[in-house]
Amino acid sequence: MSRKLTEDELIRGFDEALANGNIFMNYQPQYNHSTRKMIGAEALMRWNDPDCGYQSPADFIPVLEQNGLIHRADLHAFEVICKFLRFCIDNNINPVPVSFNISRHDIFEHDYVSEIEKIREKYQVPVKFLRAEITESSTVGGIELVISVLNKLHECGYLVEMDDFGAGYSSLNVLKDLDVDVIKLDMRFLSGDLAGRGGTILSSIVRMSKWLNTPTIAEGVETLEKADYMMSIGCNYMQGYLYSRPVRDSEFVELLKNSQIEAILPSMNLIETMDAKKFWSPDSLETLIFSNYVGAAAIFNYNVITRDVEILRVNEKYARELHLDGDEDEILRSNPWNNHGAESRKIYEETMKRAIASGETETCENWRVINSKLCGENKVCIRSSIRVIGKNFNDYVFYALIQNITAEKVNYSALFDSERRFRFASEQANVYAWEYNIATKQMRPCFRCMRDLGLPALVENYPEAAIEMGIFPEECADDYRAFMKKIDSGVEHLEAIFPLTVGRIPFHIRYTNEFDENGKPVKAYASATLVVDGEKK
Ligand code: C2E
Ligand code: CA
Ligand code: CA
């Protein structure tokens, strides 16, 4: 008859259950949802009473904990796991790393790590096949002890997982102190609502764990929908009924034989030179450099499928360069695409694609509309140099250095504008017009010059090039050279009639010089009009 054992029965029956193998381990495999390969398994304790049947861990684990028995149970569990791994190795079955649960009672008043190390040595199991699971609740009695156990586990080569992450309140704080290698997120703590708050919490945890370069495993995944959701936010590793319930060791062996296996990897492959943990620590050298020694910089995430951009980090100069009066927090909360028009977004996304393909820094310029509380709407032109610094599945993390080049652009376009107007006017007035740069001896002809005289858009070595082309015939070439010398020397206005081209058609040529603030001639604006009847040299 199946029945729940009473607390008393559990305590009294414990030794016998342990000795008779009625307390044993089941294994629940973990998978990479994107490759469907097995990445590990969690060992879970089972108690099968010969008379009363299966006992739920939710019932007997707390009893063992409260009665000082869990430590022995867990050492037993560890030995069963080591035996199992030894069996696999001896029988040429490729095992996956197996996680074992550590209770907080295991580490109080016990030299737990030395104890399990003795067992591991006995069975000669490589440490890479074992992962320790700790929970936040083990920090209740003080975090120092947990930190020292964690360090010892690391010294021995164990990977350490943070179990049931997100269940407690101080989760984020705990991560700062505990240097865990894997984070396990339990879906059951966030029942239902993945579209709302639950989803936001999950995706922020996943993103943050990426920044700590710590892989995440979703636990309690029961439906394909949830598995797909977790993968979409960057958590590919899964454990749950969707893939498999915890199974007996014999069954697990069969699974291992028939499964493809892969190693668990940090979720983000950051460029080698950057240490993610340090980068996000407020007192690290990396942070100091980011905040003080680089220009205006931002780190953002781009998902190539959803095409969403999320700014993860900016420095103070970034806000200033964009002419934003909001603080960095405000920038982090905003959707950066809101500042881009369609054209600007297109330019930026193409640049990101180039950067992804090349692995190099790629640069673009685009106009953005910035809404500032102080100044209202403002258009700024930003030159961005961007580079991929991390990648995870469809997410790319970019480092961007930006420069506000609005002033530069405005000057250039003002110039471009005046030139266009000037050209337009000259065409209307039936004149040929050009500009002559005194320092460089470059000449820029108007459209009519280009069309009628076959000039290129930029003529070098003026006037010699024009003389060579026959625009100024041989016999007047020296006169024209002398004329241009006067322009070079800084005469304000100069005009003369020259017979142009093979046809010797008389044109009235007029120059007006432009000077810089020191009175030095910079550029001359010239025009040529057909000499009409009665006009004399
Ligand atoms: P846990 O460490 O969070 O283990 C995961 C629990 O989730 C297991 O429950 C597992 O069977 C269950 N689970 C896995 N996938 C799903 C799913 O898709 N849906 C649902 N609803 N549940 C799922 P289990 O085996 O009942 O263990 C309960 C707890 O007992 C464990 O929670 C752990 O805290 C503790 N425990 C189990 N084995 C050991 C052990 O060897 N030592 C210690 N100290 N504690 C253990
Ligand atoms: Ca666990
Ligand atoms: Ca768990």
pLDDT in tens, 39-50: 999 999 999 999
CA of 306 to the centre of ligand 3 (A): 30
Decide: 464 and 485 in contact? Cβ < 8 Å: no
Task: Give the mean pLDDT of 122-143.
Answer: 90
Decide: 159 and 131 in contact? Cβ < 8 Å: yes
Residue closest via CA to ligand 1's atom 25 equals 44
pLDDT digits (tens, 9 = 90+) for 443-471: 988 777 777 787 888 899 999 999 998 89
Pocket of ligand 1 (CB under 6 A): 28, 44-45, 57-58, 61, 70, 74, 77, 101, 103, 163-164, 188, 220-222, 239-241, 246
Quick one: pLDDT at residue 273? 47
Q: Can you tell me whether residue 12 is helix, strand or coil?
A: helix
Pocket test for ligand 1, best of 61, 106, 131, 160 (most atoms within 8 A of CB): 61
Quick one: pLDDT at residue 537? 44
Higher pLDDT pick, 348 / 263? 348
Quick one: pLDDT at residue 272? 46
CA of 95 to the centre of ligand 3 (A): 21
- Tell me the residues surrounding ligand 2 (ion) with CB < 5 Å: 101, 133, 163
Alpha carbon distance 321, 28 (integer Å)? 52
Q: Dig out the tokens for 379 from the structure.
A: 């258009």
Bridge partners, 507 (sequence order): 498, 530
CA of 42 to the centre of ligand 3 (A): 9
CA of 492 to the centre of ligand 1 (A): 91
Decide: 435 and 444 in contact? Cβ < 8 Å: yes
Quick one: pLDDT at residue 327? 64
Is the torsion defined by CA of 445, 448, 449, 454 positive or negative?
Answer: positive
Q: Which ligand is nearest to the CA of 27?
A: 1
Q: How many CA atoms lie within 13 A of 72 on its CB side?
A: 13
pLDDT digits (tens, 9 = 90+) for 186-209: 887 766 666 666 777 777 788 777
Computed over every residue of the chain, the mean pLDDT equals: 85
485-514: burial string, b at 16+ Cβ within 10 Å, e else: eebeeeeeebebbbebeeeeeebbbbbebe
pLDDT category of residue 178 using cuts at 50, 70 and 90: confident
Quick one: pLDDT at residue 415? 57
pLDDT digits (tens, 9 = 90+) for 69-89: 999 999 999 999 999 999 999
Alpha carbon distance 113, 50 (integer Å)? 33
CA of 526 to the centre of ligand 3 (A): 82
Quick one: pLDDT at residue 242? 95
Looking at ligand 1, which atom is closest to the CA of residue 242?
18
Higher pLDDT pick, 244 / 296? 244
pLDDT at 419 over 80: no
Q: Can you tell me whether residue 121 is helix, strand or coil?
A: helix
Q: Dig out the tokens for 506 from the structure.
A: 């008389």
Residue closest via CA to ligand 1's atom 41 equals 45
Residue closest via CA to ligand 1's atom 12 equals 220
CA of 186 to the centre of ligand 3 (A): 6
Alpha carbon distance 236, 201 (integer Å)? 17
Decide: 322 and 402 in contact? Cβ < 8 Å: yes
Looking at ligand 1, which atom is closest to the CA of residue 25?
41
CA of 163 to the centre of ligand 2 (A): 5
CA of 495 to the centre of ligand 2 (A): 93
Decide: 264 and 40 in contact? Cβ < 8 Å: yes
Decide: 27 and 41 in contact? Cβ < 8 Å: yes
213 CA to centre of own chain? 12
Pocket test for ligand 1, best of 47, 101, 102 (most atoms within 8 A of CB): 101
Q: Which ligand is nearest to the CA of 44?
A: 1
The counts of H helices and E strands in the chain are 19, 19
Name the pTM for this structure: 0.62
Looking at ligand 1, which atom is closest to the CA of residue 26?
25
Distances in Å between the alpha carbon of 72 and those of 6, 65, 116, 123? 20, 10, 11, 18
